C-alpha cells in the first residue's frame, strides 16, 4: 500500500456515526445523520442524504477525505455573511426564526415542497408560500434581503406564474433558487421574469456544471462542498463558472459547516450572503464550537472543530450499521489509483 492509501485506510478506521434531531422537518428529514472521520488535517463529515445512490455519494466521500488530509487553501476574508434558512413552516414560526437569527438575509423554501422530491399541487400552497414570505418581510424589515428556493419543484408555467406573485408578497426578492429542474426550463424562466435566477441542483447533480453557464440558465451559482468533491474542487468549479457564488450547506454539523466556510473564505470574490447559517436547524451539534451567526456573520475557521459533543449524538446500533456499510460500499468506488495500488 502506498502512503496516500494507508492514510485513507487509517482515516476510514476513525469513523463515528451521528444522528441529530432537527427542530423542523427539512427536505423530508427529521433527524440528520452521517459519519465523522479524522485525518492528519482534522475532522471531516460524510453525510450524503439517504436517497442518494452509492455512485452519487462518491464526491461526498472524496470531499471528506480531502478535508481530513489537507489544510484549507489560502483565505481572502475572515468572516462570512450568511442567510438564515427557513423551512416550510407556519408564518408565525418563520417570523420567529428569522427574528431570532440576527441575519439580514433570509432564504425561504417555497413550492409546497422542501427538498428535491417533486410534489405537485403548487396551486394550493402558493398562498401559504406568499403568507410565509410576507411574515419574513415583516420580521426582516425593508432593508433585509429575501431569497427563495423552489428545489426544482415548478414547471416553466408554474414558475412564471408564481415568481411575480411571491416577489410581490415578499416586497422584493433577491433571487429565486432552482425554480425548475431542466437547464432549458431554467433559461426560459430566467428570460421571462424580472428576478435573478440561481442554480443549485443544476450545479450539484450535473456531470458538467459549466452547462449551466452555456445554457444561460442562471445569474448565480449555489456551490456546496460535499457534492462537488471538496473545498479545492468546489473552488475550481466556482471560479470556472464566472458567476457570482453563494456557498451553501447541506444541513451540516459544525464539522461540515467549517468546510463550507473555508470555501467561502477562499473565493476571490464573494458578493452574496452564503447559505451557511443552518446550524440553528439542528437541535444540537457534535461540537461545542457551534457555527451560530453573530450579527448575521460567521468567522472563517482555521480548521474544523473537535467533535467534543459527539457522545450526545451517537447513532444507535442499526443506523450505525447502515452508515458503516454505506461508507464501505462508497469507499470501494474510490478511483483504483487512490486505494489499491
CA nearest neighbour of 122 among 83, 96, 88, 92: 88
Closer of 11 and 150 to ligand OSB (Cβ): 150
Give the nearer residue to ligand OSB in terms of CB position, either 227 or 230. Answer: 227
Q: Does 278 bind ligand OSB (CB under 6 A)?
A: yes
Nearer residue to ligand OSB within complex by CB, 202 or 248? 248
177 is in an annotated binding site: yes
Q: Is 185 annotated as ligand-binding?
A: no
Q: Is residue 113 a contact partner of residue 153, using CB atoms and an 8 Å limit?
A: yes
Q: Which does 253 bind (CB under 5 to 8 A by kind): Mg ion, ligand OSB, none?
A: none
- Return d(Cα 260, Cα 46) in angstroms, integer: 13
Work out which of 32, 104, 107, 137 binds ligand OSB, going by CB under 6 A. 107
**Residue whose CB is nearest to ligand OSB in the complex, by number:** 275
Residues 197-205: contacts with CB within 8 Å, 24+ apart? 198/147, 198/222, 198/246, 200/149, 200/151, 200/224, 200/248, 201/116, 201/151, 201/152, 202/178, 203/228, 203/237, 203/241, 204/228, 205/56
Report the alpha-carbon distance of residue 248 to residue 94 in Å, rounded.
20
- Letters for 145-184 (x = contact with Mg ion by CB under 5 A, - = none) are ----x---------------------------x-------
The region of 132-140, 205-213, 247-255, 308-316 touching ligand OSB under the rule CB under 6 A is 247-255
275 near ligand OSB, rule: CB under 6 A: yes
What are the cell numbers at 203?
Answer: 450545479
Residue 109 among the catalytic residues: yes
Q: Contact between 320 and ligand OSB (CB under 6 A)?
A: no
Residue 308 annotated as binding?
no
Distance CA 193, CA 189 (A): 6
Does residue 250 bind ligand OSB (CB under 6 A)?
yes
d(CA 17, CA 54): 17
Q: How many CA atoms lie within 13 A of 128 on its CB side?
A: 16
Q: Is the dihedral of CA 212, 213, 218, 221 positive or negative?
A: positive
Q: Is 107 a catalytic residue?
A: no
Q: Which residues contact 270 (CB under 8 A, 6 or more apart)?
A: 76, 77, 80, 245, 247, 264
In the region spanning residues 64 to 93, those forming contacts with ligand OSB, defined by CB under 6 A, are 83, 85
Q: Name which of residues 190 to 219 contact Mg ion (CB under 5 A).
A: 200
- Minimum CB separation of residue 279 from ligand OSB in Å reads 11
The answer to whether residue 202 forms part of the interface with ligand OSB (CB under 6 A) is: no
Q: Which three cell numbers stand for residue 29?
A: 428529514
Catalytic residues: 109, 224
- Residues forming contacts to ligand OSB in the complex (CB under 6 A) are 27, 83, 85, 107, 149, 151, 200, 248-251, 275, 278
- In the complex, the residues that contact Mg ion under the rule CB under 5 A are 149, 177, 200
Binding-site residue set:
149, 177, 200
Amino acid at each position: 500500500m502506498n502512503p496516500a492509501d494507508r492514510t485513507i485506510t487509517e482515516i476510514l478506521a476513525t469513523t463515528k456515526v451521528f444522528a441529530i434531531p432537527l427542530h423542523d422537518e427539512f427536505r423530508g428529514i427529521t433527524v440528520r445523520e452521517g459519519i465523522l472521520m479524522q485525518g492528519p488535517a482534522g475532522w471531516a463529515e460524510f453525510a450524503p442524504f439517504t436517497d442518494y445512490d452509492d455512485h452519487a455519494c462518491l464526491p461526498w466521500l472524496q470531499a471528506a477525505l480531502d478535508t481530513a488530509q489537507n489544510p484549507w487553501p489560502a483565505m481572502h476574508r475572515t468572516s462570512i455573511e450568511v442567510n438564515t434558512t427557513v423551512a416550510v413552516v407556519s408564518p408565525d414560526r418563520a417570523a420567529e426564526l428569522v427574528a431570532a437569527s440576527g441575519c439580514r438575509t433570509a432564504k425561504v423554501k417555497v413550492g409546497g415542497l422542501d427538498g428535491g422530491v417533486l410534489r405537485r399541487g403548487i396551486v394550493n400552497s402558493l398562498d401559504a408560500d406568499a403568507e410565509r414570505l410576507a411574515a419574513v418581510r415583516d420580521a426582516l424589515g425593508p432593508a433585509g434581503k429575501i431569497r427563495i428556493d423552489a428545489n426544482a419543484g415548478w414547471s416553466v408555467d408554474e414558475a412564471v406564474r408564481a415568481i411575480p406573485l411571491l416577489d410581490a408578497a415578499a416586497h422584493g426578492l433577491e433571487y429565486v433558487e432552482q425554480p425548475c429542474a431542466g437547464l432549458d426550463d431554467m433559461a426560459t424562466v430566467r428570460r421571462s421574469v424580472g428576478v435573478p435566477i440561481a442554480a443549485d441542483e443544476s450545479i450539484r447533480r450535473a456531470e458538467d456544471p459549466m452547462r449551466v453557464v452555456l445554457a444561460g440558465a442562471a445569474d448565480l451559482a449555489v456551490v456546496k462542498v460535499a457534492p462537488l468533491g471538496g473545498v479545492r474542487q468546489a473552488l475550481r468549479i466556482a471560479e470556472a463558472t464566472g458567476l457570482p457564488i453563494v456557498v451553501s450547506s447541506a444541513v451540516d454539523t459544525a464539522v461540515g459547516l467549517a468546510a463550507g466556510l473555508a470555501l467561502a473564505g477562499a473565493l476571490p470574490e464573494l458578493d452574496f450572503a452564503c447559505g451557511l447559517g443552518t446550524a440553528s436547524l439542528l437541535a444540537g451539534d457534535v461540537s461545542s464550537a457551534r457555527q451560530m451567526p453573530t450579527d448575521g456573520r460567521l468567522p472563517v475557521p482555521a480548521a474544523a472543530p473537535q467533535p467534543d459533543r459527539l457522545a450526545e449524538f451517537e447513532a444507535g446500533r442499526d443506523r450505525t450499521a447502515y452508515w458503516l456499510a454505506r461508507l464501505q460500499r462508497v469507499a470501494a468506488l474510490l478511483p483504483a489509483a487512490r486505494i489499491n495500488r
